[in-house]
Amino acid sequence: MSEAVAIIPARGGSQGVVRKNLQRVGGVPLVARAVAAAQQSPAIRRVVVTTDDADIAAVAAEWGAEIVERPAELAADEASSEGALLHALDELERRKVDVGVLAFLQATSPFIDVVALTDAVHLVRSRRRDSVFSAVETYGFLWQKGAGGAAAAVNHDLEFRPRRQDREPHFLETGAFYVMRAAGFRAARHRFFGSIGIAEVAPRTAIEIDTLDELELARAIAPLVDRAGAIGGDGPMRVDAVVTDFDGVHTDDTVRVDQHGVESVVVSRSDGMGVALLRAAGIPVLILSTEANPVVTARARKLGADVIQASADKAAALQEWADAHGIPLSRIAYLGNDVNDLPCLDLVGWPVAVPDAHPLVLSAARCVLDRPGGAGAVRDLADRVLAGRDAASTSVLAPRPTTPQEAS
């Protein structure tokens, strides 16, 4: 039986935003967001990313996409999306994949409406439409500049300005997805052919990223648009390791100094129990700190967690630790609070922030916790990680239980 296949073109080059398809929105690379959206649709059986870039291919593969290597001539600035799609269809045919419905998704649209995408696939598969595209309803009065810059009306009569409720809407393409019969697309060699339908989506999902301003806007609204699911911070947090900063995460980012100049910090027993529960589930925990401080060593020893201190390059240290444990970065949750955590947050699959974190950290996070540093933030993260474990994983206990004394 033929399949409904999502194909996501994602080349390495970009004119407006450098390495655009790997830029993160809501803590997730754009290409990964498109892959996740396609995977969430029950109507789509296979997700394919066609790219000329090894880094994009690696990220897409980590998120579960199949990869088609795109020739350089189909990845140049002047190359069309249609050319990349046709090449991918040819390659899938060589792999014995029978593509009946093609869902063309664009990674530059970070908020793909999965319900609308699914409905579009059903509409095409049922032969009620040959091609369907995502669009937003608009009642705007459009204008264009004519000769000498003079304005001219496009979709309305200057002398008749009806109220919104008295007008028929127009529809503006969002660029998020185009769904079509694969055979019809091969024949037409264009995404619009035959009977064309519109998949209406909410305006909040309609942003398409071509400029840095649009990228910043998408990052700003991501917490409002993302909801429970494979992408949003309220979705299942399926990770294989937890890495945390220390100051501002295990503590409230303050230091107490006595009359002898001795420094001390306050930690949460709840956090200690959270680490114990992670260890009991077989999930490694690493405390990664820029500074060298005996209190960090003592706390890590108490919790039975790995510790790396005095690291000038936290991202390199994280990469080395992950490689040594055989854990993909995409399966790691990193909890931070300040700007020195940004390189690590940009590496992992689940960048997490405490609620009182620096604004740049909040912007980089895929998930913002409910509890602040030093007041149960680590426990909050641990609970989310454990809740996201697969049933098979949660049934496996650690070989040695942790005592209450170790947890505190």
Q: Do β-strands 367-368 and 350-353 pair in parallel, antiparallel, or remain unpaired?
A: parallel
Question: What are the residue ranges in the chain where pLDDT is below 70?
Answer: 227-230, 232-235, 390-408
pLDDT value, residue 404: 38
- Tell me how far apart the alpha carbons of residues 29 and 102 are, in angstroms, rounded to a whole number: 23
In degrees, rounded to 5, the angle at the alpha carbon of residue 363 between the alpha carbons of residues 112 and 178 is: 15
Q: Measure the N-to-C terminal CA separation of the chain; round to a whole number of Å.
A: 57
Phi, psi angles (nearest 5°) of residue 216: -65, -40
pLDDT value, residue 75: 85
Exposed, middle or buried, 196 (CB in 10 Å: 0-12/13-18/19+)?
A: middle
- Tell me how far apart the alpha carbons of residues 45 and 26 are, in angstroms, rounded to a whole number: 25
Q: pLDDT for 262-278, tens place per residue? A: 777 888 999 999 999 99
Cβ(406)–Cβ(304) under 8 Å? yes
pLDDT value, residue 162: 82
CA 295 to each of CA 228, 321, 337: distance values in angstroms, whole numbers, following the listed order: 37, 21, 19
**Contact residues for 341 (Cβ-Cβ < 8 A; gap 6+):** 245, 314, 334, 361
* Cα of 41 vs its chain's centroid, Å: 16
Kindly state the tokens that stand for 66.
Answer: 């199949």
H runs (alpha helix) in 46-150: 54-62, 81-94, 114-125
Domain range 3-144+153-225, its CATH number among 3.40.1280.10, 3.40.50.2300, 3.90.550.10, 3.40.50.300: 3.90.550.10
pTM: 0.80
Which residues in 215-245 are b (16+ Cβ under 10 Å) and which e? beebbebbbebbeeebbbbebebbbbbbbbb
Supply the DSSP string of 52-76, one letter for each residue: S-HHHHHHHHHTT-EEEEPPGGGSS
Cβ(218)–Cβ(30) under 8 Å? no
Kindly state the tokens that stand for 75.
Answer: 């990845």
Closest listed residue to residue 38, CA positions, set 129, 119, 88, 112:
112
pLDDT value, residue 69: 95
Domain ranges for the chain, please list them: 3-144+153-225, 241-407
pLDDT value, residue 403: 39
Highest CATH level, class, for 241-407: alpha beta
The Cα diameter of the chain in Å comes to 83
- Tell me how far apart the alpha carbons of residues 33 and 16 are, in angstroms, rounded to a whole number: 20
